[in-house]
Structure formats: structure tokens, C-alpha cells
A and B are shown apart, each in its own frame.
Chain A
Amino acid sequence: AVLKKRLVKLVVNFLFYFRTDEAEPIGALLLEHCRITKEEENVFSISFIEEPERKYCFECASEEQCQEWVEALKRASYEFLRRSLIFYRNEIQKMTGKDPLEQYGISEEARFQLGTPRQ
């Protein structure tokens, strides 16, 4: 496998990659239902649930940079954000007895439900 130098940008739950001298991305990876794995030194990989053997590998300039990316990518999914919202909502509800989302009129939205089985 050939290593190609790319500019990589994490924007919400998408990982865009660019040729280093171009303004438009050549591709993007949607970061849902994926696994971020630390591989050998300076390397991490992204694989997807429906095709776990296929790994998108990235080599970083340093181990530190690699760790930084692994951390950021692990928290990049919408699903992660959703779970943290449910966590906070639940904690606040336990402490106050009130649903903090009622205030904003969004407590009934499907995306915020505790019991909704995902993945």
C-alpha cells in the first residue's frame, strides 16, 4: 500500500481529506458505526461495522499527534454526542426531578430518548 500525503479535516462527524495543494476535498468518511484503532507507532486506522477488515490507515507525524487524532475521532460521531446528551439529561433529572429538555420544547424528540435502542 502506498502512503499519500493528505490534509485531513475533522468537521462534525465527517473526516474530509484533501490533496495538500487543493481547496476542495477529494473525499470524506462518515464517522458513524466505525471503530478507531491505534495501530503501530504513529498509525491509527478507521474501519466500519459492515466491513471490519477494510481499514483506512493514517500515519501521523508523531505518536502525540496520533493519540490526539484517535481521541478526537472517537468522540466525533453524532452517536457519541447523543449518548452524552442522554447522560446529562438523566443526571439532571435525577438531581432535580425535572427534565431539562422540557424548557426547550424538545423533550419528545425521538433523537433524545433514553430508551431508544441504537446500533
Chain B
Amino acid sequence: MKLNERSLAFYATCDSPADNSGFLYKRGERHTAYHRRWFVLKDNMLFYFEERESREPVGVIVLEGCNVELCDSAEGFAFAIRFGGTKSRTYVLAAESQAAMESWVKSLSRASFDYMRLVVRELEKQLEEMRWGRAGGWGGSREFSGSRKSSGLEQSPERVPALPGVLPKENGCAVWNNALGVEQPPSTSGCAERDDEENPRPPPLPPRRRVSNGSAGNAGDIPSTFCRLHERYSREVARLRQDWLEKQRGSRP
């Protein structure tokens, strides 16, 4: 399968900070000998180089849908990256110390896009709850109080709902959408658009969308509030640019 390798190599070696890096021993695919390689973890990709100074990675492991497990084998400080599917290779790696092994296992298990998306959704939900003053933690019905529209934006710390210790199962929908069992935009979606009040306008709440399998649906679900903010600024920039261009054209003889 072709991959934009040059871009990948650039991404691996550019000076954006790595989430983890260090020497690890990697067990060969066919032979059980271990090879010492320089590993660099960036986002959801684990690159490995022959040497620390190598200009190009030898390979990359994409960390989506994997499980990171400790190996109870005799080889010290070993752990495995396992994927579902019978054709997938299991990568066995070994660190040089207990501390290094633990650090790698931790950072690798948090490296996936899915994990990141889960955390973002969780924070997004918390922020919405704080802004709109909803009561309670997980599940149950939500109260759509009429006072929400007014100055209910500032919440005292005591009103912050108790946070669960375990993140919910990821299925792409906000929990309250599940509880209601209906796919419908929340009645708040229109609210923040109004700017007649003097209070600072929070980013508008978008309608909830159901996750669709595959294709463009995946990326479109996440950080809806942040996306809207992003969109709004880009529209403003585009408009300013357009105005400027028109002025330029107008001033030509």
C-alpha cells in the first residue's frame, strides 16, 4: 500500500516535540532476535530509526485500535503492541529499565486518536454543562430550564457536576443524546447566536449529530464547539480579505 512516505518521514524528523522517545529493543518478525532501535512517539504514530541520528525512520507503527500489554516473559521489561485481526503482527518491545517500560506503556496506550477524541468529548461536555448549568452527572434526563438563556453562564464551582472516574464507552454520541434516545438538536443551539445582550458570547452549540460508519462522518463529529469557533474566525478572515481585494480592484484606474 502506498503511503506519502516523504511526508511521513518529514513529520517523524521535524522538530515538533515527541510525546516520548528513547531506545527500545524490538523483536524481529521472523527471528526472535532483538534489535536496538531509536523510537519516537508522535501523536498516534510510533516511528523507529536505526540510529538516533538517522535522517529517516526505518518504519512506523500506527497506534489505532491496539492494545498495549506487559509481557510476562523472561525477557526483562518487555511489552507488546497487539492489534485485532488475524493478519496483524504483534510488536514485542523491551525497554532498558522498569521506569522506561512503564513510561512507554503509559504513553502508548494513550496515543490513539480514539483516546484523544474521548478525552476531548468529555471536556467538551463538561464545558457545555458548566455553561448551561445542567444538573447531574451521567445519563438520566436533562432539565431544559428556561433561565438558561439569561445570565446563567457564570457558574460557581459548587455547581460543577461530579466527574466520573472512568470515561464512558465511546460511541460518538453525547450521553444525554443517548438518554433521550432521539437524535435532535438541543434547544440551546439557537441561543448563543443572539448577540443583543452585552454579555460575552460563548461559541454556539451545534446540533448533535449521530456518528455514521466510516467515510467523512468520523472526523466531523468531534470538537463541535471548537470547530464552530474555528469556522467563525475563518469566515471573518475570508470576509476581510474579500473586502480588501475589492478595494484593491476599485482603486485601479
B134 close to A (CB within 8 Å): no
A97 touches B4 (CB 8 A): no
B3: chain A residues within 8 A (beta carbon) = 27-30
A24 close to B (CB within 8 Å): yes
A81 touches B11 (CB 8 A): no
Number of residues on chain A facing chain B (CB within 8 A): 57
Which range contains the number of B residues in contact with the other chain?
35 or more
Contact of A29 among B4, B160, B165 (CB under 8 A): B4
- Known contacts A10-B219, A76-B219; 15 additional CB pairs below 8 A are A12-B219, A33-B7, A48-B10, A71-B220, A72-B216, A73-B219, A80-B223, A84-B120, A85-B116, A88-B120, A88-B126, A91-B127, A101-B119, A110-B19, A118-B16
Instruction: Mark B residues whose CB is within 8 Å of A.
Output: 1-4, 6-8, 10-11, 14, 16-20, 43-45, 62, 64, 107, 110-111, 113-114, 116-117, 119-120, 123-124, 126-127, 130, 155, 157, 160, 163, 165, 167, 214-216, 218-220, 222-223, 225-227, 229-230
List 17 A-B pairs, Cβ < 8 Å.
Answer: A9-B214, A10-B219, A11-B214, A32-B7, A32-B43, A50-B10, A68-B216, A75-B223, A78-B43, A81-B222, A82-B116, A88-B123, A88-B225, A100-B126, A103-B163, A103-B165, A104-B167
